[in-house]
Structure 1
Amino acid sequence: MKLPSEMSVSQIAQMIGGKVQGPDDVKISSFSPSPASATSGDIALISDLKLLKKLGECKASALIVPAGAELKLPLPLIFVERPMIAVQRILTALQPKWHRPAAGVHPSAVVDATAELAEGVAVGPLVYIGPKSKIGARTTILAGTTIGGGVKIGEDCLLHQGCMLADFVELGNRVILQQGVSLGGDGFGYVTERPSNMELLRDGLPGASDAPNPLLKIPQIGTVIIHDDVEIGCNTTIDRGTVGPTVVGAGSKIDNLVQIAHNVQLGRETIIVAQVGIAGSTSVADRAIIGGHAGVKDHLKIGKDSIVEAMAAVMKDVPDNEVVVGMPASNARTWFTEIAHVKKLPKLSDEFKALKKKVEELEKQLAAK
């Protein structure tokens, strides 16, 4: 990726907070995320020390490397404590000027007369903003977004194309909603007049029947509250609470295609990766991470700083600082030990058969005496 203008190694080091080894006046014209694809004029990143073995093939003019790496190469090196922070700073400088509407309301947008728009709000084409909604200063709302009534949106938010916010949803400051995010749809709650077949079978009771037993909708009268500095990925859905709010804590990051059910409580700085499903009334504590395609049962507690690995099926509470994996999810160390033992079963079976055969032969010999 081309830099806006040519920079010296020393200028780049200053920008990313690194220390230079070697000549610092070498000119750099572009950034390469991989040393394998870098060419002359590029500065490349090495975030994994395992890649250092392949540096003989690198054609970059300079490298960004982890602090403490012992390298002697005929090109400038910039040592940084956290390589991905260096990437964040470089890409922040390189990002293009995105196409955003100017402050004001596009002629095709529909804004209710009772809605309140603070200074510097930008409303794009075909946006709808419902009655008594309040939009904070410098917030940008892109084309085709629908905002219901009584919604509160903080300052400096960015709502990408096609987002849908139902009545009474609340966003804090600096919230980013990617394309197609849906907030405040009804939670999934139904009840039957008499015990359902599922309830009877679950409790081991007789009386299961084919007679109609309609599912009656439970009104979902809560809301969704998204705190400051949250980012939510494309086509993620967060349901309103049955009673009270579904909450996403400050600084949390939610990936694409995630389903968060009614009354879920996410703590601060949680990370929820793509295609995760979290069932109703589960709480996820501060800084917990849930990997892609994992499923979490309802009414559970996921502890602080815990990690749920990808595709895990969480059926019970996860303690603080725990790493869980598998289906059903269990302690990662225990799970991998069990898998290692399972892999030994064919060999153990063969050994058992051989021992059994020897025992039978010995028994025959003893019987013949």
Structure 2
Amino acid sequence: MKFPHEHSLKEIAAIIDCDYVGDNDFPVQGMNEIHVVTPGDIVFVDHPKYYDKALESAATIVLINKEVECPEGKALLISDDPFRDFNKLTRHFKPFQSLNGLISESAEIGEGTIIQPNAVIGNHVKIGKNCLIKSNVTIGDNCVLGDNVIIHSGTVLGGDAFYYKKRAEGYDKLLSGGRVVVENNVEIGTNNSIDRGVTGDTIIGEGSKLDNLIQIGHDTVIGKNCLLASQIGIAGCVVVEDDVTIWGQVGIRSDITIAKGTVLMAQCGVSKDTEPNTTYWGTPFGEVRTKLREYAAIKKLPEIVKKIK
């Protein structure tokens, strides 16, 4: 998430009331999670296990809970609770805005686009040309849709990320300030839930088609010309490359890549990266021919046991 204009390190420290290491005028241009940071961004870290990863990332400002040696060309924001203060920044730069009607006055809707009754279009949403938004669709604040997009009834674009920190008193939610971006010629079926990025974008690539009852987590990227069947659950921060086919009831864990041309057969439980142009099946999942041979061998076990006896 980039800020509307550049701020100084001193200004950001004042917002969250913390100490800092670096020049007062050190430039701060945005804030992001570690997998999408660029120079000028703030990244937060609150566990020693990940200090080095954050300090060595592309981010040039590190919000951290210990005063450590500051890498050259970077700055530190020293906080007793980086998670809390990251939320403070999200509230400051992306505060909640209520709606006064079904379609926000700040929404931009392209020529030839049809919005059916009871659809909700949030603040600062941009919708391209010749789209069809059916009844009871919700498109949250700041989401972007390209041209020729179809969204079927009951779908929610831009729900909050499922991202919590466990504390003694309960779960603390990380606020979501990102977007959902749907590219040209995408069709999304009924009752899908596509969460916005925490600070970046959740993306549905051009030409992809999604069936009904699909959950896509925050900051996940679906590539171009992908086909997703019903009842799929994809966690956050997944990369699905182009031309992937995912059949029904597949579950995909976070932070992995589904390579170009992959086919995931129904009910796969996907726990690691895939190889390009390969078909997988099963839980735990594996290359489909290998898994079928394993299944055939297991069916022979009762006969083998009889012979042993």
* Same topology, TM > 0.5: yes
User: In the alignment, does 2:107 pair up with 1:140?
Assistant: no
SS at match of 2:185: coil
Which residue does the alignment assign to 1:166?
140
Q: Identify which of 201, 211, 235 aligns with 1:255.
A: 211
Counterparts of 1:318 and 1:324 in 2: how far apart (Å)? 9
Which residue does the alignment assign to 2:261?
305
Return the letter of the residue paired with 1:150: H
Deviation at 1:236, TM superposition (A): 0.4
Return the letter of the residue paired with 2:261: D
Q: Identify which of 178, 190, 198 aligns with 2:152.
A: 178
User: In the alignment, does 2:131 pair up with 1:157?
Assistant: yes
Give the 5 Å matches for 1:287-326. 287-326=243-282
Which residue does the alignment assign to 1:363?
none
Which residue does the alignment assign to 2:238?
282
Counterparts of 2:284 and 2:176 in 1: how far apart (Å)? 30
Deviation at 1:351, TM superposition (A): 1.5
Counterparts of 2:284 and 2:150 in 1: how far apart (Å)? 33
| Cα shift readout 1:279-313 (whole Å, capped 9, x = no counterpart) | 00001010101110110001110011110111111
Say which one has the larger Rg. 1
* Unmatched 5+ stretches in structure 1: 1-110, 113-126, 194-211, 354-369
Percent of paired sites with the same residue: 37
Deviation at 1:278, TM superposition (A): 0.2
SS at match of 1:342: helix
Which residue does the alignment assign to 1:187?
161
| Cα shift readout 1:231-267 (whole Å, capped 9, x = no counterpart) | 0000001000011000000000000000000000000
Counterparts of 1:128 and 1:249 in 2: how far apart (Å)? 27
Counterparts of 1:281 and 1:221 in 2: how far apart (Å)? 15
Give the 5 Å matches for 1:107-256. 128-193=102-167, 212-256=168-212
SS at match of 1:215: strand
Return the letter of the residue paired with 1:142: Q
Counterparts of 1:240 and 1:273 in 2: how far apart (Å)? 21
Deviation at 1:131, TM superposition (A): 3.2
SS at match of 1:179: coil
Return the letter of the residue paired with 2:131: C
| Cα shift readout 1:34-63 (whole Å, capped 9, x = no counterpart) | xxxxxxxxxxxxxxxxxxxxxxxxxxxxxx
Deviation at 1:170, TM superposition (A): 0.4
TM-score normalised to structure 1 length: 0.56
Deviation at 1:213, TM superposition (A): 3.7
Deviation at 1:168, TM superposition (A): 0.3
SS at match of 1:184: strand
Counterparts of 1:160 and 1:250 in 2: how far apart (Å)? 20
| Cα shift readout 1:52-75 (whole Å, capped 9, x = no counterpart) | xxxxxxxxxxxxxxxxxxxxxxxx
| Count of aligned positions | 211
SS at match of 2:289: helix
Which structure is richer in relative contact order (CA contacts within 8 A, separation 6 or more)?
A: 2
Counterparts of 1:239 and 1:148 in 2: how far apart (Å)? 14
Counterparts of 1:328 and 1:251 in 2: how far apart (Å)? 30
* Unmatched 5+ stretches in structure 2: 1-98
Return the letter of the residue paired with 1:338: E
Which residue does the alignment assign to 1:273?
229
Counterparts of 2:290 and 2:166 in 1: how far apart (Å)? 41
Q: Identify which of 332, 342, 346 aligns with 2:302.
A: 346
Counterparts of 1:350 and 1:262 in 2: how far apart (Å)? 51
SS at match of 2:293: helix
| Cα shift readout 1:101-146 (whole Å, capped 9, x = no counterpart) | xxxxxxxxxx98xxxxxxxxxxxxxx82113110000000001100
TM-score normalised to structure 2 length: 0.67
Which deviates more, 127-136 or 155-164?
127-136
Counterparts of 2:246 and 2:281 in 1: how far apart (Å)? 10
